[in-house]
């Protein structure tokens, strides 16, 4: 294998050093490349195939050293490595006849590895909430307050630089953290054990950070406010900008200072916006706090879900699989039926019946409990049933009776009654105050309604009452009754006789509208 | 006035309570949206009292939520093989070995699965689970490629549909059986979770023998005081009286019999209070008989050819006090066919139908605890005497003619 001379790097695409990522055996290629990187950290530049083979972790090492040699040649082909003839001594003849090479990273290969490590880091990043950064920010702000008393360009620049560096790190991490938190909580492809271990730490971590954010966030906001009073921070920013611009080329000096100042103010306002809510816009710190707090219940929900999955599902599933085995191994069908009954309990109760006649007979002539079944009177079986196997005579199929005619009749009666009552009500309505004596003749239905109304009204009558108002029991009519002092008598004629009594004025109104 | 109203209300409440309890005894898993929705509502209304009653007297847990009511029944005796799982069709064929195994594998797959499942997917998972070496060693293998295997799976799924574990969303099983389609189901996890009524998870039981497994499945926790032991006895006796047609004293242990003799009236009264069943106490045992004639899955007497044959054979068996051979029963059926055949279905009159008629009748009588199948034939049990007519009649007696 090693006898084929390494090809020169292909430069046609320009990105050939990334080709190994998509080739078969990509993991091996990446491990080989990382062996070179590790070696480079130890300032070893050249590696022989056997060195590379030894450097691979035992569990990833291919069985055949030649596989590594092949991989090296392929990498040379893509331009990641450079191969040089190996001129060292050998101790075996066959080694001598074999063409040997030593390998080193090319610049392209090294650059590709760097790019890949940045890529990995960005993807693998969990993000962190830096409580320490908050402390540093407080310290730096305090320093700035002190410097603002006696402005000094060098000190101001240093403090501001440190402050912004810490702040940028904090903001960047917080952003990454929120992203990774969501990914974790969504529980895609997360190993349960890993998650459960992570959960406790995460909750503690969130709690600590939230505490710091609450206490330190307030102090930071206060310090920022203090610095912004009388634009003291403006002076500091200008000093820092001037110091930065001092290094600029002479022809750019003026504009450089203005640009530096602009940059510093932007950074400062970013910092202020992070910790101080203003103009109806919530500060980032507050948002982050909300987000971190909100993460806890979400996390608990995931934990619950996991617990369900563990406690409920898997165990039950194992139970059913065990039962499947038992059913398979049971000696016979009868045993299986017994197992079904015991395990699932889905059977109906089963009882002998007794008919009313037999029961009555027993109540009349109770049988002592020591009577045997054979000694007691047997169940009375219908002779018809005994003879034919049916309670009914044959040929007379029992049919469902059609009761729609009766039903219609009942509906008609109900409708007619409703109508009559409505008519009677209409007849009673006086449409204004009138005398009882003026009611004239009433049919029995209307008279019955009238009597009910009168009864309802008189029920409210007290010794000194002259006038009363009552609503009928069913709430459909209202009666207003006033006693008259002229001593006249009212007569209401009905087909059943004449109703007499002291005359009153009366007003009867349907109350339907008010129901 | 108020007293009578109180009585009426009390009477209604008792009737409702009986109905709810009977519903649970007939169908220990009631669904809110199933065919017994009314019974479910009753159970829900009386859930508190029912739970107390069952908990105290039988030790059966009752769980009621918005979707379903489930009485976690454990039988009082493990010896009864007359309650098989049955196909949810009219034929009500008892489950076979393959179907039982399939059922459990399907449940295992549903437990692991999500809120919905297609029958095709379920079949795949069952096939995977069936590869378990223990099952293979027991001679079980599923490919679910043959039609009869698919029929088995369809029967299992229909049972689950009937008990409300699955709810059909689209498609039908026949299409699946013929290989023309698939079916989609919702899985009702709550119902599924309550399906197993065993006291202990089968996966935690290590016993190897069948009887030991069965015993451990329903074993109560340690009964180390007299009070607990007596309670266990009372619960076992109550369970048997609630579930089984006849409790023969001969089947009881000395301890159980002693307890029952002392507490018989009390236990029977509690059962009557719950269900309205009436105790028929005899020298040989107790039967809780049902004046309402609906708390049973096997009826006797019953209309129809099979019911008639069963009744007539019962009389015949009651008249003989020793074991009767199957041949004798078959010849008796041939005699009966001469006399009553005119009322029977056409199939039953055909020569050679006796075997099946006897088989069906014996299944019913065994299920009701009236006969026992023994080597050499069928032995009548004491309660069968309930169905004796004064003398064995070949012709109609004059007394009967008068009554008619």
Q: Mark which of A118, A147, A167 sits at the end of a domain.
A: A118
What residue has token string 């027991």?
Answer: B138
Helix (H) or strand (E) run with residue B399 in it: helix B398-403
A90's tokens: 């050998």
Q: Mark which of A292, A308, A324 sits at the end of a domain.
A: A308
Is-contact A233 A151, C-beta < 8 A? no
B341 → chain A, closest CA residue: A388
d(CA A486, CA B310): 90
* Residue B83 in this model has a pLDDT that exceeds 90: yes
B299 → chain A, closest CA residue: A352
d(CA A24, CA A488): 121
pLDDT computed for residue A235 by the predictor: 82
Share of chain A above pLDDT 70, in %: 77
**DSSP conformation letters of B227-280:** HHHHHHHHHHHHHHHHH-SEEEGGGS-HHHHHHHHHHHHHHHHHHHHHH--EEE
Residue A397 lies inside a defined structural domain of this protein: no
* Residue B69 in this model has a pLDDT that exceeds 50: yes
**DSSP conformation letters of B276-345:** --EEEE-SSEEEEEBTTS-S-SS-SS-SSHHHHHHHHHHHHHHH--S-B-HHHHHHHHHHHHHHHGGGS-
Q: Mark which of B178, B194, B210 sits at the end of a domain.
A: B194
Mean pLDDT of A86-113: 74
pLDDT computed for residue B26 by the predictor: 94
Give the CATH number of the domain where residue A255 resides: 1.20.58
A378 → chain B, closest CA residue: B386
Q: Mind listing the pLDDT tens digit for each residue in B123-162?
A: 988 998 888 888 888 888 888 888 899 999 999 999 999 9
- Same domain for A88 and A40, yes or no, is yes
Residue A398 lies inside a defined structural domain of this protein: no
Mean pLDDT of A297-318: 62
Chain-chain contact of A342 with B82 (C-beta, under 8 angstroms) = no
Q: Mind listing the pLDDT tens digit for each residue in A44-83?
A: 777 888 888 888 888 778 877 788 888 888 888 888 888 8
Residue A315 lies inside a defined structural domain of this protein: no
- Same domain for B275 and B311, yes or no, is no
Query: What is the distance in angstroms between the Cα of B240 and the nearest Cα belonging to chain A?
Result: 9
- Same domain for B358 and B316, yes or no, is yes
Better pLDDT: A405 or A11: A405
Chain-chain contact of B74 with A359 (C-beta, under 8 angstroms) = no
* Residue B246 in this model has a pLDDT that exceeds 70: yes
Residue B259 lies inside a defined structural domain of this protein: yes
- Same domain for B124 and B183, yes or no, is yes
Chain-chain contact of A345 with B289 (C-beta, under 8 angstroms) = no
Give the CATH number of the domain where residue B309 resides: 1.10.10
Q: Which of A322, A330, A384 sits opposite B202 (nearest CB)?
A: A322
Q: Mind listing the pLDDT tens digit for each residue in B275-287?
A: 999 999 999 999 9
- Same domain for A148 and A210, yes or no, is yes
Residue B375 lies inside a defined structural domain of this protein: yes
Q: State the pLDDT confidence band at B382, using cuts at 50, 70 and 90.
A: very high
- Same domain for A26 and A157, yes or no, is no
Q: What is the span of the domain harbouring residue A461?
A: 428-510
Residue A283 lies inside a defined structural domain of this protein: yes
* Residue A105 in this model has a pLDDT that exceeds 90: no
- Same domain for B261 and B229, yes or no, is yes
Count structural domains, chain A: 3
B157: Cβ–Cβ under 8 A, 6 or more apart, which residues?
A: B106, B119, B122, B166, B173, B183, B185
* Residue B209 in this model has a pLDDT that exceeds 60: yes
A26-40, A184-198, A241-255, A348-362: which range is least confident on average? A184-198
Phi, psi for residue A394 in degrees, rounded to 5: -70, 155
Q: Mark which of B24, B54, B71 sits at the end of a domain.
A: B71
- Same domain for A129 and A111, yes or no, is no
Helix (H) or strand (E) run with residue A214 in it: helix A192-228
Chain-chain contact of A349 with B343 (C-beta, under 8 angstroms) = no
B314: Cβ–Cβ under 8 A, 6 or more apart, which residues?
A: B300, B361, B365, B370, B384, B387
Give the CATH number of the domain where residue A69 resides: 1.10.10.10
B382 → chain A, closest CA residue: A373
Count structural domains, chain B: 4
- Same domain for A260 and A206, yes or no, is yes
- Same domain for A138 and A264, yes or no, is yes
- Same domain for A162 and A85, yes or no, is no
Residue B204 lies inside a defined structural domain of this protein: no
Q: Is B370 exposed, middle or buried (0-12, 13-18, 19+ CB in 10 A)?
A: buried
Better pLDDT: A116 or A194: A116
Is-contact B371 B362, C-beta < 8 A? yes
- Same domain for B272 and B344, yes or no, is no
pLDDT computed for residue A3 by the predictor: 42
B128 → chain A, closest CA residue: A321
pLDDT computed for residue B393 by the predictor: 45
Say what the pTM is: 0.57
d(CA B128, CA B133): 11
- Same domain for B234 and B315, yes or no, is no
Q: Mind listing the pLDDT tens digit for each residue in B18-50?
A: 999 999 999 999 999 888 899 999 999 999 999
pLDDT computed for residue A126 by the predictor: 54
Q: Mark which of A64, A83, A118 sits at the end of a domain.
A: A118
Residue B209 lies inside a defined structural domain of this protein: no
Query: Taking the alpha carbons of B197, B202, B206, B211 in that order, is the dihedral positive or negative?
Result: positive
* Residue B76 in this model has a pLDDT that exceeds 50: yes
Q: What is the span of the domain harbouring residue B49?
A: 12-71
d(CA B32, CA B41): 7
Helix (H) or strand (E) run with residue A41 in it: helix A26-41
The H-assigned helical ranges of A64-152 are 65-78, 93-97, 107-124, 131-149
Chain-chain contact of B104 with A384 (C-beta, under 8 angstroms) = no
- Same domain for A100 and A130, yes or no, is no
Number of A–B residue contacts, CB under 8 Å: 284
Residue B122 lies inside a defined structural domain of this protein: yes
Q: State the pLDDT confidence band at A313, using cuts at 50, 70 and 90.
A: very low
Q: Average pLDDT, whole number, for chain A?
A: 77
Q: How large is the angle between the packed helices A232-245 and A131-149, nearest 10 degrees? A: 90
- Same domain for B171 and B141, yes or no, is yes
- Same domain for A178 and A60, yes or no, is no
Residue A409 Cα to chain centre, angstroms: 59
**Residue A427: strand pairing partners:** none
pLDDT computed for residue B250 by the predictor: 93
Residue B398 lies inside a defined structural domain of this protein: no
Residue B85 lies inside a defined structural domain of this protein: no
- Same domain for A77 and A132, yes or no, is no
- Same domain for A89 and A152, yes or no, is no
- Same domain for A302 and A191, yes or no, is yes
Q: Which of B275, B283, B316, B346 to mutate to test the interface with A (most CBs of A within 10 A)?
A: B283
Chain-chain contact of A319 with B203 (C-beta, under 8 angstroms) = yes
Length of chain B: 404
Better pLDDT: B389 or B303: B303
Residue B39 lies inside a defined structural domain of this protein: yes
Q: State the pLDDT confidence band at A190, using cuts at 50, 70 and 90.
A: low
- Same domain for B284 and B309, yes or no, is no
Query: What is the distance in angstroms between the Cα of B7 and the nearest Cα belonging to chain A?
Result: 23
Chain-chain contact of A378 with B385 (C-beta, under 8 angstroms) = yes
Chain-chain contact of A352 with B290 (C-beta, under 8 angstroms) = yes
Residue A379 lies inside a defined structural domain of this protein: no
* Residue B259 in this model has a pLDDT that exceeds 90: yes
Q: Which of B22, B101, B193 sits opposite A312 (nearest CB)?
A: B193
- Same domain for B181 and B115, yes or no, is yes
**DSSP conformation letters of B129-195:** HTT-HHHHHTT------SHHHHHHHHHHHHHHHHTTSEEEEE--HHHHHTTS---EEEE-HHHHHT-
Angle value at C-alpha B387, between B382 and B392, nearest 5 degrees: 105
Mean pLDDT of A252-273: 81
Query: What is the distance in angstroms between the Cα of A300 and the nearest Cα belonging to chain B?
Result: 21
């Amino acid at each position: 294998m090693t006898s084929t001379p390494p090809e020169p790097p292909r430069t046609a695409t320009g990105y050939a050093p990334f080709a190994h990522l998509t080739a078969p055996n990509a993991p091996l290629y990446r491990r080989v490349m990382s062996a070179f990187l590790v070696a480079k950290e130890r300032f070893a530049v050249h590696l022989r195939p056997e060195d590379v083979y030894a450097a691979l972790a035992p569990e990833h090492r291919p069985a055949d050293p030649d596989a590594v040699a092949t991989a090296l040649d392929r990498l040379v082909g893509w331009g990641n490595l450079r191969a040089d003839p190996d001129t060292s001594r050998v101790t075996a003849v066959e080694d001598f006849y074999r063409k040997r090479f030593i390998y080193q990273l090319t610049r392209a290969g090294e650059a590709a590895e760097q790019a890949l490590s940045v890529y990995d880091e960005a993807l693998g990043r969990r993000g962190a909430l830096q409580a320490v950064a908050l402390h540093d920010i407080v310290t730096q702000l305090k320093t700035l307050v002190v410097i603002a008393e006696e402005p000094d360009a060098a000190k101001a620049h240093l403090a501001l630089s440190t402050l912004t560096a810490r702040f940028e790190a904090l903001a960047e991490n917080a952003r990454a953290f929120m992203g990774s938190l969501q990914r974790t909580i969504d529980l895609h492809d997360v190993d349960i054990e890993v998650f459960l271990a992570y959960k406790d730490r995460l909750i503690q971590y969130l709690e600590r950070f939230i505490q710091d954010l609450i206490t330190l966030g307030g102090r930071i906001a206060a310090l920022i406010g203090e610095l912004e009073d009388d634009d003291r921070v403006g002076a500091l920013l200008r000093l820092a900008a001037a110091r930065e611009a001092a290094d600029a080329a002479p022809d750019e000096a003026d504009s450089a200072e203005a640009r530096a100042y602009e940059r510093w103010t932007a950074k400062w306002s970013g910092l202020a916006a992070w910790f101080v809510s203003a103009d109806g816009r919530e500060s980032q710190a507050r948002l982050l706090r909300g987000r971190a707090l909100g993460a806890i219940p979400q996390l608990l929900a995931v934990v619950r879900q996991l617990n369900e999955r563990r406690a409920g599902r898997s165990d039950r599933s194992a139970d059913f699989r065990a039962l499947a085995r038992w059913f398979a191994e049971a000696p016979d069908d009868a045993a299986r039926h017994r197992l079904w009954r015991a395990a699932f309990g889905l059977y109906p109760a089963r009882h002998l019946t007794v008919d009313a006649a037999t029961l009555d007979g027993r109540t009349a002539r109770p049988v002592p409990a020591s009577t045997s079944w054979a000694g007691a009177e047997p169940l009375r079986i219908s002779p018809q049933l005994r003879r034919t196997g049916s309670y009914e005579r044959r040929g007379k199929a029992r049919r469902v009776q059609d009761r729609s005619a009766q039903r219609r009749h009942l509906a008609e009666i109900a409708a007619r009654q409703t109508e009559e009552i409505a008519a009677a009500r209409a007849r009673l309505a006086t449409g204004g105050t009138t005398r009882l004596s003026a009611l004239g003749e009433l049919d029995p239905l209307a008279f019955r309604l009238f009597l009910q109304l009168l009864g309802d009204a008189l029920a409210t009558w007290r010794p000194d009452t002259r006038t009363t108002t009552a609503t009928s029991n069913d709430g459909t009519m209202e009666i207003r009754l006033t006693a008259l002092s002229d001593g006249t008598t009212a007569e209401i004629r009905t087909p059943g006789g004449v109703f007499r009594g002291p005359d009153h004025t009366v007003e009867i109104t349907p109350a339907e509208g008010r129901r | 006035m108020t007293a009578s109203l109180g009585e009426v209300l009390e009477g209604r409440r008792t009737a409702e309570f009986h109905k709810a309890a009977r519903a649970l005894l007939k169908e220990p898993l009631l669904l809110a949206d199933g065919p017994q929705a009314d019974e479910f509502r009753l159970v829900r209304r009386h859930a508190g009292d029912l739970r107390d009653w069952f908990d105290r007297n039988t030790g059966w847990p009752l769980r009621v939520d918005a979707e379903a009511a489930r009485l976690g029944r454990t039988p009082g005796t493990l010896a009864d093989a007359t309650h098989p799982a049955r196909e949810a069709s009219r034929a009500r064929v008892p489950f076979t070995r393959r179907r039982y195994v399939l059922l459990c594998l399907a449940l295992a797959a549903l437990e692991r699965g999500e809120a919905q499942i297609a029958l095709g997917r379920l079949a795949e998972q069952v096939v995977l689970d069936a590869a378990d070496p223990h099952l293979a060693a027991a001679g079980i293998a599923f490919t679910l490629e043959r039609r009869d295997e698919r029929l088995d799976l369809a029967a299992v799924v229909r049972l689950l549909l009937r008990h409300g574990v699955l709810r059909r969303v689209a498609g039908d099983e026949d299409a699946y059986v013929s290989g023309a389609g698939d079916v989609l189901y919702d899985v009702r996890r709550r119902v599924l979770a309550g399906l197993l009524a065993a006291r202990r998870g089968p996966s935690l039981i290590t016993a190897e023998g069948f009887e030991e497994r069965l015993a451990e499945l329903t074993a109560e926790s340690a009964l180390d005081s007299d009070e607990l032991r007596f309670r266990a006895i009372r619960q076992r006796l109550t369970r048997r009286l609630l579930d089984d047609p006849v409790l023969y004293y001969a089947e009881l242990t000395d301890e159980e019999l002693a307890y029952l003799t002392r507490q018989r009236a009390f236990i029977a009264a509690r059962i009557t209070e719950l269900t309205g069943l009436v105790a028929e106490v005899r020298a040989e045992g107790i039967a809780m008989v049902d004046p309402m004639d609906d708390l049973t899955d096997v009826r006797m007497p019953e209309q129809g050819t099979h019911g008639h044959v069963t009744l007539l054979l019962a009389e015949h068996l009651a008249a003989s006090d020793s074991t009767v051979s199957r041949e004798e029963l078959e010849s008796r059926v041939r005699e009966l066919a001469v006399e009553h055949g005119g009322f029977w279905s056409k199939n039953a009159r055909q020569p050679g139908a006796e075997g099946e008629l006897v088989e069906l009748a014996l299944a019913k009588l065994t299920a009701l605890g009236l006969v026992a199948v023994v080597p050499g034939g069928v032995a009548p049990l004491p309660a069968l005497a309930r169905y004796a007519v004064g003398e064995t009649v070949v012709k109609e007696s004059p007394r009967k003619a008068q009554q008619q």
